[in-house]
Structures are given as C-alpha cells and as structure tokens.
Amino acid sequence: MANGLLGELQQLAGGLTVGQVVLFILAAGFVLLVVDYTRVLLLRRKMPPGPFPLPIIGNIHLLPERKPWIYFEQLAKEYNSPVITFWMGRRPNVWLNDAQSASDLFDKRATTFSSRPRMVVFGELAFGQSSLVSMYYGDRFRVHRKLTHMGIGLQQVRGYQQLQSDENKVVLYDLLTDSENYVAHLERYAASVVSIIGFGRRISTVTDPIITEVIFLMQRAAEHNVPGNSFPMIMESFPILAKFPRWMAPWMKNMGKPRAKNFFYALAEEAAHSDEGKDNYAKKLFELAPKYNLSEMELSTLSGSLFGAGSDTSSSTLITFLLACCAFPGVLPKAWEELDRVVGSHRSPNFEDEPNLPYVKAFAKEVLRWRSVAIIGGQPHAPIQDEVYKGWLIPKNTWTQGNVWAIHRNEENFPDPDRFQPERFLKDSPHHNPFPNERGYMTFGWGRRVCAGQALAEQGTFISVARLLWAFNIRKALDELGNEIPVDIFDYTDGLNIRPNPFKCRITPRNAEIKATIEREGKEALDNLSIYNGETKFRISTYHLENQ
C-alpha cells in the first residue's frame, strides 16, 4: 500500500524517484514547521511573558505532573508578572495570578471574556454545547444561565434555608455518635440538599448511591480536568489525537458521552413525573422544555449541574474547615465567645443570627479563601475578540485562566497567606486589606461565568460553619500514647476541585447542654425532612459509556 502511494506521488511529481518524493515531503513538512514556529515566536513577542516555547510541544515538557497551579504561581514570581503565557503545544494559555488582573479581565471586560475556548475532553468528547460548563457565550448560554438561576439563583436560595438548616442539624446529630466518619456525613448533607432542590428527594444515609457513585464520578472528573501532559488532557493541546478511531488509539478508551448523561436524565424524568406532588427543579425543567426546545442532553446537564455546583464542592469546603480548626486552634475561642453571647446553649445558630455574628461570618469567608475548592477557577475563559491588556495581546479564543491558588496567596492582599486568620474579613481589623471585589475572595469565579451555585454555597457554608463551631470542640486526633497527631495543611488532592486528603480529628460536643440541644433539634429536623424521604430505582453504575 505504501509503495503504491509513493508510486502515485512519483507520477504526480513528474517522474521523480521515490527518494526524491520522500525528500520533497520532508522538505514540505519542514517548511510548514518553520512557518508555524515563526508564527508562534512572533505571537509570543506580543503576549505576556513566559517560558520560551519549543516547536510543536511548546512548554508542555515543563509542566509538573501534580498541582500545576503551584508551578504557575512560581512562574509569575520568576517573570515578575502576574500575567504569564504558557504554551500548551501550539496553543498559548494565559494565566492570571493576581486578583487585579482577574478582576480587570473577567469582571470588568466580561462582555468579551465570558466565552469558552475550544474544549476537546470536556467539550467535544463529553457534553459539547449542551452543557453550561463548556458552552460558548451566546443566546443558548443565556437560556441555560436563566434556567439555572431559576433553580439556584440568589432569590431562590433564600427559600431553601429551612431545608438547608434541617439537613445541617441532622449532620450535627450524626456527628455526635459517629464523628470518625465525618467525611461521609458532610457528603451526605451537601448531596441531600441539592437532591431535594433538584429532584424532591432527600438522601438519608451515607450509603445512598448518589453519594457513593455520583460524588466519586465528580471527583474523578476533577482529577482528569487539570492542564497536563498526559491523557486525557494532552488532547487539548493536540486535538488530532481525538480523531483516531478507538480500535487503534488506546488513549481513547472510555472516551465518549458520559454515563452521567443518561443517569441524570433518568433522575430528572423520574422526579418530573412523580405523582407525589413535590415541587422540584426537574419538574420545572420538564415543564419549560418545549418552550426552550431543550434536548434530553440539555435536561440531563441542567439537572446534573446541581451536583457539580453544590455537593462535592460544598462538602470539600467543610472538610477544609475541620482541617483549619485542627491546624489553628487559637481561632476557636473567639468564635465560641461570640456564639455563646449571641446564641447560647439552648438553641443552635440560625440565619437570622448572621448580622450579630461578624467573627463567625469572617471565619466562613476565611474558609472559602484559605483553601478554595475550585483551585484554578473552574473552566477556562476565552475572549471573543483580540484583547490588549497592559500592552500585551491576548488573541481571540485564547485559553485564559485565573489561578485562584496564587490569587488567594498573594502577600499584598493576604500577608502570611497560609495562616488561617478570620480577621482578614473584619473591616475594622488591622489585618484587613483592600481587595478588588466586595466579597474579598474569588472562590467562585468571575463575571458571567461565576459559579451558578455561589449563593447556595455561601449560604450553606455560613450556617454549617456557625453550627459546627457552636456545637463542637474540633481538635487534632490523639495517638496511642495520647499525643496529638499533626495535620498537614498542604496535603490536598490533585484535581480541579481540591479537598484535604484523609486526616483524623476529634469532634466532641462543647458541653452537656449543647449536646442535649443537638439531639433535640436533630430529631425535630428528621421529622421535618421526612416529607422528602424516598428512593430512586436508578444507579449510575447501570449506565455504560456510549462508545459507539
């Protein structure tokens, strides 16, 4: 076959020998390579500083296997520039490593920086333009954003305070008797809240399949969705690798429409057509599907995105809270004093207490700042036209990402950034520093691409932090000799959404009166939530990847 092809090329080349044809092909390839590399070098001169790119591979060989956000933070310091360019193959990737540049581009220029670049792994090979996460900015994006706000927008989440409060009281009740399994209880709580909102059904046990399967799936997706030089993310730098047929490309194994598509559609359809009369987000989506011409895939991603916006991320935030309490016990007494003065022992804190709990509110904000879950701000932004920032060119469709790790560790905004210090968020404190936005952190992204679940997450973080501080003394665990077991504040997972790796801690009620209150309120909460009890017949493990 090869000889036949060379023969045809030889005829087309007017009787050249096979060797001459081969040399011609090599020469043509070399010329194309030189032309393309010249384009890269000329473009590099106009863009923000960064490592010198090699032909074809760019800077991929420099990329570390783990936690690349730390490397990009170091590059920003090395080049003395918060904005840097890193070449992923022939594609430039711009990283914003301080709050000001992220605010200037993503917030103040949201009109042009609210789209997405071409995304292969989590776009074309997954949900494509049917998912808000990977969708280009435009009319369809606005429809999906409107529908998402209908479920978990700022006005709607206030109506979820009661169920959020009740589920939180159940967590305290569970931790009284089973504090060692705190991760499972926090995951159950976070997943149950979004399950009630989305599907009208609570998650009552830590073994419910939505926890054991869906959160695992989300964590696995987060692990793969990190800029890297290995599969599958290497396909973002070399999209041609995604064109190979699966039978001859082992890296394409298990790539295709995720099983979550059918699973979340089945859950939504089940909830929408339930005869129990419970109001839920899925029911609203199915009612509006004809008006907005929603496909099955869109119904799946809209309902399933609730778990991405509010389950794994929320539970990870609370695990970080526990780690901070163990690592910095000195911050607890001030919170206890405020809670005892404002709330007392005979009831737990509620949402109405928030204005009177400034230190506890600052504590919750510092949790969101100290170790933000979405460590690189979620998916990349891309300008819809060429943009110039401080004299640098950022070409149209360039991958542009905010490095939240570097932003929240910037010494100008947060001196001694690894120290957990709630006073940073008290405006009358000497530890408070100006920040480009009112919240004082960039945990949930920017502009029109800000996390849709931000209001729900912030609301849940406050009440959870307030209740856990009120209820328990959270300390380092003890070994067999009674010595405290150290915790490592840098021991986190490597995925796009980070959380502490497993650690042990002691969670004990602060006094007998508080313990009695936890028990009483926990039982009342279970009774209130019983209207949402039920079980789905669907399991994500029953759906297989659609590889055909």
Q: Tens digits of per-residue pLDDT, 498-530?
A: 999 999 999 999 999 999 999 999 999 999 999
Predicted confidence band of residue 338 (pLDDT cuts 50, 70, 90):
very high
Segments making up each domain of the chain, as ranges: 47-67+82-288+305-540
User: Model confidence over 438-488: pLDDT tens digits?
Assistant: 999 999 999 999 998 899 999 999 999 999 999 999 999 999 999 999 999
Q: Is 291 exposed, middle or buried (0-12, 13-18, 19+ CB in 10 A)?
A: exposed
pTM, to two decimals: 0.92
Give the pLDDT of residue 125.
86
C-alpha–C-alpha distance, residues 290 and 547, integer Å: 29
Whether the pLDDT of residue 256 is over 60: the answer is no
**CA pair distance 219, 289, nearest whole angstrom:** 29
Tokens (6 digits) for 394: 């950022």
Query: Residue 185 in contact with residue 206, Cβ under 8 Å?
Result: yes
What pLDDT does 169 receive? 98
- Taking only the tens place, the pLDDT of each residue in 75-105 is 999 999 999 999 999 999 999 999 999 999 9
Find out whether 131 and 308 touch, Cβ atoms under 8 Å.
Answer: no
Digit-coded pLDDT (tens) for 340-386: 999 999 999 999 999 999 999 999 999 999 999 999 998 999 999 99
Q: In this predicted structure, what is the pLDDT of residue 359?
A: 98
pLDDT band per the 50, 70, 90 thresholds, residue 286: very high
CB 89 within 8 A of CB 57: yes
* Confidence bin at 25 (pLDDT 50/70/90): confident
On whether 451 is known to bind a ligand per the annotation, the reply is yes
Residue 419 has pLDDT above 50, yes or no: yes
Residues of the chain with pLDDT > 70, as a percent, come to 92
**pLDDT averaged over every residue in the chain:** 90
**CATH placement of domain 47-67+82-288+305-540:** 1.10.630.10
Nearest CA-CA partner of 441 in 430, 452, 432: 432
Once rounded to an integer, what is the mean pLDDT over residues 163-188?
A: 96
Q: Collect contacts of 264-268 with beta carbons under 8 A, ≥24 apart.
A: 264/300, 264/301, 264/303, 264/304, 265/296, 265/297, 265/299, 265/300, 265/303, 266/538, 267/198, 267/199, 267/303, 267/536, 267/538, 268/198, 268/199, 268/299, 268/300, 268/303
Looking at residue 544, its pLDDT comes to 47
Quote the pLDDT of residue 3.
56
Q: What gap in Å lies between CA 120 and CA 135, rounded to an integer? A: 12
- Please report the pLDDT score of residue 216 as a whole number: 73
Quote the longest CA-to-CA distance of the chain. 97
